[in-house]
Amino acid sequence: DKVGRGTLCDIVKYFGDSKKNVREAALKACTCWVTSAGLAKVLPTMAEKFQEYSAKITAEGKKEAIEWCMETYGRDQCTDDVIHCSAVHFAAVGLNDKATESRKASAA
């Protein structure tokens, strides 16, 4: 779990990459991680690191990550408060962003 957490933190950093294919690969890795470990284990760490790195993540990267979070959250059938809080955490980062595209993605 500790090794995986570090790797997941590194993946979140790639949300800020200027290349779309790198951001897409990071989101695909997160999707695979959720599939194998479960949303309750992955989303809290991602939300924490998403906020930590938000100043370094581009508006487009934030938008894509928030859309991924909301899509993944919407598919999950869990009623765990940790998941709900993490999804809200993701949205809050986007709502506080100066870029309109990030705020729009969070408002959805």
- We report the CATH number of the domain holding residue 7 as 1.25.10.10
Could you read off the pLDDT of 3-47 as tens digits, one per residue?
A: 567 788 889 999 999 999 999 999 999 999 889 888 888 888 888
Identify the domain containing residue 77 by its residue range: 2-107
Alpha-carbon span 96 to 62, nearest angstrom? 11
Could you read off the pLDDT of 69-92 as tens digits, one per residue?
A: 888 887 876 667 787 788 787 778
Type and span of the H or E element at 80: none
The domain total for the chain is: 1
The pTM for the full model equals: 0.79
